[in-house]
């Protein structure tokens, strides 16, 4: 019986050994492109057949090209982005690149053109491929060109042969030492989990790629080949490391310690590479930026090591790196803004909207996932490295087990270090780096200087400092200059503010013809109507920041360009338009057809003076006002406007102020025409711009619901004024912006429509352009010329004067009344006063309420 059991064990070991040998040869076969070499002069010429062909992410032999390698260029270069792109200016434009080594492979991404156009690729003067850049199911596609090769060792591929030798030696040790029965159950569980994880992420990512393949170094893999590669490599790493463990008696402890120490010291570099490769290019970081980024990651890594252990800290920081890097790219794609500190407080909101956003994965993101998976596999099974003990293992004799108290004390000390020492180090690193911050395209800063350093720099920049010379006596001088107005009218109008999600007016864009006009009803309003434009600070997201600026009249850019007030500074009651009206005996109600947890609204709205707030999850819920209907997966604006009508039908004798934040227009816009039939065309087509026509169709339906709302209040018994504006523009496709918008003029992407309508007489005004902080004082000025004037607060009076000096104050620029950029805001006579008033309103724990009432 014992002999049979021994034979069975030997047989199982032999079968596993055969499987491992097969895995080794499968892996070697899959990476054979890395084992080959070719001979040419390293010269690549990329020729555009037609103008306006755009390519980027050019890689030679698996690495991004450097600007110094471009020896001749007739293409236009746009380097004001994360990845520089090249755009052909005319027919037969040529781009010549000289590589320091023979060209083995070439890859690049191209924007899919409408009509068949060819890009020719020449290597060493010989045509090797012609690519039709109209091919591709999405707006971009990936091109991969492989040259013939022969298998041989060169200085460029010697690493690949060396790592095969290392893997082979590990497997040999495993097989010869019969190590099958030394595998632990824990390792089998981890191995199983890793294999499941790789199956899930490859299954999820490949359908979302531009092209159904992964380009990695000099190789390209389809989905099945990628899964085979990762499965084979997982087995080789696991069993190879187990094989090397059998040599523990033949390897000195010092050599093992030094080797493992070097590997663990590389973790911050691995982490930074994964982060940067997910959205940009690791190779473009300067030595100074590289060092500063590694300091930030290294400090966090050391704290994790101290709090836990080397292995767990390595696994945690590598997992976080791929999550952060990919999240950053997804935020840039969907909102045009990178990962910022306040996003850490918006996880719930992000999860709530993520299900409706079409996620596209590019090759860099998948590369980072693969690198992370391989590194995680390695660090799961690498031998442990024990740090030297600072204290003796036993200082006194006791039967009590101190394991958990020690662990708790380490975690507590690590947390204290995190909230005390890390901010100091962060501030020092940012101060020494002193990088320039691009507020218009913040993601460009990330590409130039790295995510950790840029994130830290924008965070430090977001801190609010007290204005120079700030004092309450100076603010009292404002009260003397702008005394509160006396109330002249006894009847107060109802006021409705509608912040329309992503509403935009594209009617003035050159070359863009929309049929029918999606804002036809809004454009048709003339009687008792004032039209205008709102220049906001956010694009594609950041809804709550526009809310804050409208309600408080505080421009966030004067506090900090990276502030998110709802989640950072509103912790007590703050002056707002709602508090002003509440003091005038108004009922104040907020409506938003999503969870109250989004942007912390359920806590913020009461602090801004709202008596009641309706959300999907409030009690009572917003659906109690009207039957809930859905459009594009979101609560429809028709439903929301019906709720407004019901609210005003039920109201009592007090005037009512309602602040309404819509959701129907929320991005993304992934629906097919079958799922969401289009009602608006662009230049005669509904299918050419699928995302845009979905958005415009949604906006048309909102416009129809708005017309119904206007009809209702036209015969309403009480004086009512409605103010509607867009919170920001939607994040649409790059082709749309490139074709129809002047991206050098930020106002084109940061302007939204504004309309003010009332069911009583108001004086006509010319269309004006303002920023959100002036919307309330602008409305108060309009009402002051009507039969339903409200007494203006000192702050509102001051803002009317400030608007004359600087009618637009945003994060991307400040504009004077002649339309010119204001280079130095401190040159304005009222600027310092505005800073002091805003600080008092937004930050001071004891705001002077008389200023805002």
Indicate whether 9 pLDDT > 70.
yes
- Segment 803-824 mean pLDDT: 90
Indicate whether 140 pLDDT > 80.
yes
Residue 391: the pLDDT is 45
Indicate whether 291 pLDDT > 50.
yes
- Segment 80-93 mean pLDDT: 80
Indicate whether 395 pLDDT > 50.
no
Residue 399: the pLDDT is 47
Confidence of residue 348 (pLDDT cuts 50, 70, 90): low
Confidence of residue 389 (pLDDT cuts 50, 70, 90): low
Count Cβ atoms below 10 Å from residue 390 Cβ, excluding itself.
Answer: 5
Indicate whether 400 pLDDT > 50.
no
The alpha carbon torsion through 803, 804, 810, 815 (nearest 10 deg) reads 170
Is the pTM value of this prediction over 0.85? no
pLDDT digits (tens, 9 = 90+) for 668-723: 788 888 889 999 999 998 888 888 999 999 999 999 999 999 999 999 999 999 99
Residue 746: the pLDDT is 78
Mean pLDDT of the chain: 88
Indicate whether 828 pLDDT > 70.
yes
Residue 706: the pLDDT is 96
Indicate whether 597 pLDDT > 60.
yes
Cα 592 to its chain centre, rounded Å, is 23
pLDDT digits (tens, 9 = 90+) for 185-206: 989 999 999 999 999 999 999 9
Confidence of residue 388 (pLDDT cuts 50, 70, 90): low
Sheet holding 118-123, edge to edge: 70-73, 93-98, 43-48, 118-123, 126-132
Give the span between the Cα atoms of 332 and 280, in whole angstroms.
11
Confidence of residue 83 (pLDDT cuts 50, 70, 90): confident
Indicate whether 10 pLDDT > 90.
no
More confident residue, 586 or 440: 586
Q: Considering all CA atoms of the chain, what is the largest pairwise distance in Å, rounded to the nearest integer?
A: 107
Give the span between the Cα atoms of 27 and 181, in whole angstroms.
25
Indicate whether 40 pLDDT > 50.
yes
Residue 732: the pLDDT is 87
Query: 664 and 635 in contact (C-beta within 8 Å)?
Result: yes
More confident residue, 437 or 319: 319
**25 CB contacts (<8 Å, ≥6 apart)?**
none
Query: 559 and 844 in contact (C-beta within 8 Å)?
Result: no
320: closest CA among 296, 336, 337? 296
Residue 370: the pLDDT is 96
**757 CB contacts (<8 Å, ≥6 apart)?**
525, 528, 529, 530, 710, 721, 722
More confident residue, 807 or 66: 807
Residue 387: the pLDDT is 62
Residue 396: the pLDDT is 43
Give the span between the Cα atoms of 208 and 87, in whole angstroms.
25
DSSP H/E element including 530: strand 529-535
Q: Which of 329-338, 503-512, 519-528 has the highest mean pLDDT?
A: 519-528
DSSP H/E element including 769: strand 768-770
DSSP state of 395: S
Angle at 116 (CA atoms; ends 111, 120), nearest 5 degrees: 75
Give the span between the Cα atoms of 425 and 292, in whole angstroms.
11
Residue 340: the pLDDT is 81
Residue 611: the pLDDT is 95
**265 CB contacts (<8 Å, ≥6 apart)?**
none
Residue 562: the pLDDT is 73
Indicate whether 538 pLDDT > 70.
yes
Cα 644 to its chain centre, rounded Å, is 33
- Segment 372-392 mean pLDDT: 79
Dig out the tokens for 641 from the structure: 């406007």
Count Cβ atoms below 10 Å from residue 192 Cβ, excluding itself.
Answer: 10
Phi, psi of 397 (to 5 degrees): -85, 130
- Above pLDDT 90, what percent of the chain? 55
Indicate whether 349 pLDDT > 70.
no
- SS3 of 35-74: HEECCCCCEEEEEECCCCCEEEEEEECCEECCHHHEEEEC
Dig out the tokens for 211 from the structure: 């092209």
Confidence of residue 51 (pLDDT cuts 50, 70, 90): confident
pLDDT digits (tens, 9 = 90+) for 653-665: 999 999 999 999 9
Count Cβ atoms below 10 Å from residue 4 Cβ, excluding itself.
Answer: 8
pLDDT digits (tens, 9 = 90+) for 702-715: 999 999 999 999 99
Indicate whether 402 pLDDT > 70.
no
Residue 90: the pLDDT is 85
Mean pLDDT lowest among 337-341, 492-496, 631-635, 725-729? 337-341
- Using DSSP's 3-state secondary structure scheme, residue 494 falls into strand
Residue 332: the pLDDT is 82
Indicate whether 582 pLDDT > 90.
yes
724: closest CA among 756, 700, 695, 698? 756
């Amino acid at each position: 019986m014992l002999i049979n059991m021994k034979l069975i064990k030997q047989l199982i070991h032999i079968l596993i050994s055969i499987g491992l040998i097969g895995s080794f040869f499968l892996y070697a076969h899959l990476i054979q492109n890395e084992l080959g070499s070719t001979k040419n002069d390293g010269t690549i010429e990329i020729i555009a057949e037609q103008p306006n062909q755009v390519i980027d992410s050019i890689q030679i032999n698996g690495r991004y090209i450097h600007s110094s390698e471009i020896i001749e260029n007739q293409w236009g270069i746009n380097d004001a982005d994360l990845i520089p792109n090249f755009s052909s200016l005319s027919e037969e434009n040529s781009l010549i690149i000289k590589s320091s080594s023979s060209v083995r492979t070439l890859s690049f991404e191209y924007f899919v053109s409408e009509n068949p156009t060819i890009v020719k690729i020449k290597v060493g003067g010989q045509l090797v491929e012609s690519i039709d850049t109209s091919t591709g199911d999405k707006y971009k596609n990936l091109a991969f060109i492989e040259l013939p090769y022969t298998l041989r060792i060169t200085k460029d591929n010697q690493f690949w042969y060396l790592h095969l030798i290392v893997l082979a030696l590990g497997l040999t040790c495993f097989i010869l030492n019969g190590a099958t029965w030394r595998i632990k159950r824990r390792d089998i569980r981890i191995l199983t989990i890793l294999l499941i994880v790789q199956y899930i992420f490859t299954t999820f990512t490949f359908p979302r790629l531009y092209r159904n393949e992964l380009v990695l170094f000099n190789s390209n893999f389809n989905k099945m080949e990628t899964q085979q590669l990762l499965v084979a490599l997982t087995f080789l790493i696991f069993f190879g490391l187990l094989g090397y463990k059998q040599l523990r008696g033949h390897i000195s402890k010092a050599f093992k310690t030094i080797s493992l120490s070097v590997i663990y010291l590389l973790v911050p570099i691995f982490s930074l590479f994964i982060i940067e490769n997910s959205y940009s290019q690791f190779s473009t970081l300067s030595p100074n930026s590289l060092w500063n980024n590694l300091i930030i990651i290294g400090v966090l890594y050391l704290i994790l090591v101290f709090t836990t252990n080397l292995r767990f800290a390595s696994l945690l920081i590598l997992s976080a790196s791929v999550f952060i890097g990919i999240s950053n790219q997804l935020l840039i794609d969907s909102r045009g803004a990178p990962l910022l500190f306040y996003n850490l407080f918006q996880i719930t909101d992000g999860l709530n909207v993520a299900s409706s956003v079409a996620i596209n994965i590019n090759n860099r993101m998948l590369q980072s996932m693969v690198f992370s998976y391989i590194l995680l596999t390695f660090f799961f099974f690498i031998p442990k490295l024990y740090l030297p003990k600072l204290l003796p293992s036993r200082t006194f004799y006791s039967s009590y087990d101190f394991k958990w108290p020690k662990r708790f004390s380490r975690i507590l000390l690590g947390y204290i270090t995190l909230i005390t020492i890390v901010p100091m180090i962060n501030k020092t690193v940012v101060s020494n780096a002193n990088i320039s911050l691009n507020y218009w395209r913040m993601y460009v800063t990330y590409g130039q200087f790295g995510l950790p350093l840029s994130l830290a720099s924008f965070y430090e920049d977001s801190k609010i400092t007290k204005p120079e010379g700030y004092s309450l006596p100076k603010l009292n001088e404002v009260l003397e200059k702008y005394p509160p107005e006396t109330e002249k009218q006894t009847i107060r109008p109802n006021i409705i503010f509608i912040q329309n999600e992503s509403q935009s007016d594209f009617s003035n864009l050159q070359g863009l013809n929309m049929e029918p006009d999606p804002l036809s009803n809004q454009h048709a309003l003339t009687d008792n109507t004032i039209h205008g434009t709102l220049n906001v600070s956010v694009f594609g997201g950041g809804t709550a920041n526009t809310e804050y600026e409208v309600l408080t009249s505080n421009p966030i850019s004067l506090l900090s360009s990276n502030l998110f007030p709802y989640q950072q500074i509103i912790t007590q009651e703050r002056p707002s338009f709602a508090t002003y009206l509440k003091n005038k005996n108004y009922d104040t109600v907020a409506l938003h057809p999503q969870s109250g947890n989004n942007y912390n609204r359920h806590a913020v709205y009461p602090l801004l003076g709202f008596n009641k707030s309706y959300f999907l999850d409030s009690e009572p819920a917003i659906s109690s006002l009207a039957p809930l209907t859905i459009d594009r997966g979101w609560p429809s604006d028709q439903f929301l406007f019906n709720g407004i009508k019901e609210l005003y039908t039920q109201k009592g004798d007090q005037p009512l102020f309602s602040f309404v934040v819509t959701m129907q227009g929320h991005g993304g816009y992934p629906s097919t025409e079958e799922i969401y039939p289009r009602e608006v065309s662009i230049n005669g087509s509904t299918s050419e711009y699928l995302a845009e026509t979905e958005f415009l169709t949604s906006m048309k339906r909102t416009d129809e619901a708005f017309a119904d709302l206007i009809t209702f209040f036209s015969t309403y018994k009480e004086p009512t004024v409605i103010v509607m504006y867009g919170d920001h523009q939607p994040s649409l496709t790059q082709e749309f912006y490139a074709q129809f918008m002047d991206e050098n003029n930020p106002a084109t992407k940061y302007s939204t429509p504004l309309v003010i309508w009332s069911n009583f007489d108001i004086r006509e005004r010319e269309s004006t352009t303002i920023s959100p902080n002036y919307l309330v004082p602008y409305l108060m000025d309009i009402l002051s010329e009507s039969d339903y004037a409200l007494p203006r607060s000192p702050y509102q009076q001051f803002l009317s004067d400030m608007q004359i000096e600087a009618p637009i104050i945003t994060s991307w620029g400040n504009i004077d009344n002649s339309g010119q950029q204001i280079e130095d805001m401190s040159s304005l006579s009222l600027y310092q006063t505005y800073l002091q008033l805003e600080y008092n309103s937004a930050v001071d724990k004891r705001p002077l309420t008389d200023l805002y009432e």
